[in-house]
Structure 1
Amino acid sequence: MSTTPHSRPVVLATLAALFWAGNFVAGRFLHGQLSPLTISFGRWLVALLCLAPVVLPRWRTTLPQLRPHWRAIVVLGLAGIALCNTLIYRGVTQTSATNAVMLSAFIPMGVLLGGHLFCGLRMTVAQTMGTALSFCGVAFILTRGQPAALLQLTLNPGDLWILAAVVCWAAYTLKLRHIPASVDKPALLFAVIAAGALCLAPAVALEWSLRGLPHITPQSGGVLLFLGVFPSVLSYQFYNVAVGGLGGARASSFMHLIPPFGTIMSLALLGEQLHWWHVAGLAVILAGVAVANGVFKGHGFAPTRPLHSR
């Protein structure tokens, strides 16, 4: 079945969300087997090996496209590759994969808020209301349905690591719009992953020198292969194309599919439990997303407006 020019980025954004949901579940599965730094570094090494046969033969012709944007590529690698994923793997050592994917539903609001605070973009009343509503849903999940816990500062550290990852992903999405759509997508992805892996390398080397080399079993190695192909090469490539076709804010709105995808996988593969406060908090977050999405075709974060315009 062929897809229209408009439906293609929609399909790609949906697949990216599906594969990224698997990232949370796989990270939780590897808890106790490999450290967060090792998981992240190993994942990106696999991704680089997958992309190399496609990118390197054309590197001389694509490098001139990338060179003017090297600063943005370094920021993208640091935020979206090194920090975001390491924080996720750190977070799921202390919280469930279900909790992590629920909190990831705040990504669209994080992009809207980040665009307003750091890119000079105006938020409409509907977007402001949607962001506030989503904040309430996040707070409900963080406190396990007991908002008074916010006053007692008795939050799960793992959940806070996941929220930090959400912030990094919002920064990645906003910065990605600074790269022209004409830049070769596989080459850009390769460069961003390489930049992220280089950012991780010193920390990984220090950890391995102190703790010794990791013991990778066939099982954990297979999971790393999955992480290196699906949530890495395919998801990032799909997401980059979707951002170019839909705009950063609209593309990020498809990430609210991560919670239902991830919850199903967490229940089926990890035997986790779904609690009432998961459902209630997610419902409030998605209500906020729905409120904000109603204005995408109006003012504010229209997909045709460059996110770097002030």
Structure 2
Amino acid sequence: MSDKKIRLLMVMTTIFWSGAFITGKIAVGEFPPFALTFFRFLFALPLIFAILYVREPSNLLPHGRQWPPLILLGFVGTFCYHALFFTSLRYTTAMNSSLIGAMNPMVTTLLATIFFSERLTPWRLFGILLSFCGVFLFITNGDLQLISQFRFNKGDLLMLTAVCCFAVYSLLSRRYMKQYSLSPLMVTAYTFLICVVISIPFLLWENPAAYIVSATARGWLSILYMSVFASVLGYLFQMVAIQRIGAPRTAIFINLVPIFTIIQSITILGESITLFKLMGAAIVITGVYLATRPESSVNYATIAN
């Protein structure tokens, strides 16, 4: 698959993930964090395993040595990230959460450089910084007063921890896919399954009887959207991209999520757009292109074994 097709897949992924912010906002009013984590991936299991059975029947059951990396990826990248993310929304503002989430490409690249001997070119570094500046401008709408009101709290620490979990997951997944002969589809399916299993005791601790009876069809449909589009398709496309172009170049696409979230907010919720948001969107897109374009002579996205 060409780099152009990979970029297209990741753009689609960011659209799916941006839609999850809208549906997640609906669902979080009816379900607690661990329940959202559990049901989101429980609903995704039949579809992802059906795809695995049809496309890769030989990979339907992992071998003995493949279980430890799958368990680690499922715990860190699926369970921990989502549990921390949903919990952080109880304590922090949307602006803080979005800005910290936009740090994911930088955290991923930093960890790749330190622990995986990733070579960081000046153009890629410039693209990462440029896209983060664009996200900052896009979210704050150029309002310096909002910037001065930024405060760091418990929710921010939880979100920062979630970002680190997702960065570790992204980096380890490519390494483990090579080392243990794991396909992107197999990783996606079994990390979902492991997340569901780990979530069960936490789900019971939240007392499902207290909210399931009052949950509306709107809330359940919101979870279903996150299951099919944000989880099954989003995670699968991300795994394919990580395998092909590496975790740091894949992670930079996350900066497109706020842009597509605003576009969907305008078209679905009727919110307005401003000049600063348009400028921020253009800066982010430029930064994403600079940070993810193929190098002319050396493939710097390869992570050392």
Pairwise TM-score range, normalised by the shorter structure = 0.7 to 0.9
Cα deviations across residues 202-243 of structure 1 (Å, max 9, x unaligned)?
21121127x735332111111111111000111111111111
Q: Does 1:53 align with 2:57?
A: no
**What residue number does 2:160 align with?**
163
2:108 alignment partner, one of 107, 111, 117:
111
Of 49-58 and 184-193, more deviation after overlay is shown by 49-58
CA distance in 2, matches of 1:158, 1:269: 28
Q: TM-score, structure 1 length as denominator?
A: 0.77
The 2-side partners of 1:164 and 1:278 are apart by 28
Alignment root-mean-square deviation, CA: 3.8
The AA in structure 1 aligned to 2:202 is A
- Partner residue in 2 for 1:174: 171
Q: Is the 8 A contact 2:40 2:224 kept in 1?
A: yes
Residue of 84, 87, 94 corresponding to 2:84: 87
Residues of 2 paired with 1:83 and 1:37: CA distance?
A: 10
Measured after TM superposition, the shift of residue 158 of structure 1 is: 4.4
Show the counterpart of 1:212.
210
Change (3 A) 1:227 1:293: closer
Secondary structure of the structure 2 residue equivalent to 1:178:
helix
* Counterpart in the other structure of 1:78: 75
Select between 4-13 and 21-30 the one with higher mean Cα deviation.
4-13
Deviation at 1:20, TM superposition (A): 0.8
Residue identity matched to 2:233: L
Q: Would you say 1:222 and 2:221 are equivalent positions?
A: yes
Greater CA deviation, 245-254 or 119-128? 119-128
Count of aligned pairs:
300
Q: Is the 8 A contact 2:17 2:257 kept in 1?
A: yes
Matches within 5 A, 1:178-189: 178-180=175-177, 183-189=182-188
Instruction: State how far apart, in whole Å, the 2-side matches of 1:184 and 1:113 are.
Output: 25
In structure 2, do the counterparts of structure 1 residues 238 and 247 end up closer, same or farther at CA, with 3 Å as the change threshold?
same
Decide which moves more: 261-270 or 218-227. Answer: 261-270
Q: Which runs of 5+ in 1 are unaligned?
A: none
Structure 2 stretches lacking a partner, 5+ long? none
CA 1:7/1:289 → structure 2, altered by over 3 Å: closer, same or farther?
closer
Conserved in 2, the CA contact under 8 Å of 1:81 and 1:193? Answer: yes
Distance 1:30 1:250 in 2: 31
Give the Cα–Cα distance (whole angstroms) in 2 for the partners of residues 129 and 54 of structure 1: 39
- Kindly indicate whether the alpha-carbon contact (under 8 Å) linking 2:188 and 2:236 is maintained by their aligned counterparts in 1: yes
| Equivalences for residues 148-159 of structure 1 within 5 A | 154-155=151-152, 157-159=154-156
SS in 2 for 1:180: helix
Residue 244 of structure 1, CA deviation: 1.5
Contact kept in structure 1, 2:96 and 2:150, CA below 8 Å: no
Q: What is the aligned-residue identity percentage?
A: 27
Change in Cα spacing, 1:8 to 1:297, as seen in structure 2 (3 Å) is: same
SS at structure 1 position matched to 2:38? helix
Distance, in Å, in 2 between the alignment partners of 1:286 and 1:6 is 16
1:292 deviates by 4.8
Report the Cα offset of residue 170 of structure 1. Answer: 1.0
TM-score by length of structure 2 reads 0.78
Q: Secondary structure at the residue paired with 2:177?
A: coil
User: CA–CA distance in 1 between the matches of 2:146 and 2:169?
Assistant: 33
On the 8 A contact 1:105/1:282 being kept in 2, the answer is no
Relative to 1, partners in 2 of residues 1:136 and 1:234: Cα closer, same or farther, differing over 3 Å?
A: closer
Tell me, in whole angstroms, the C-alpha distance in 1 between the residues paired with 2:165 and 2:3: 28
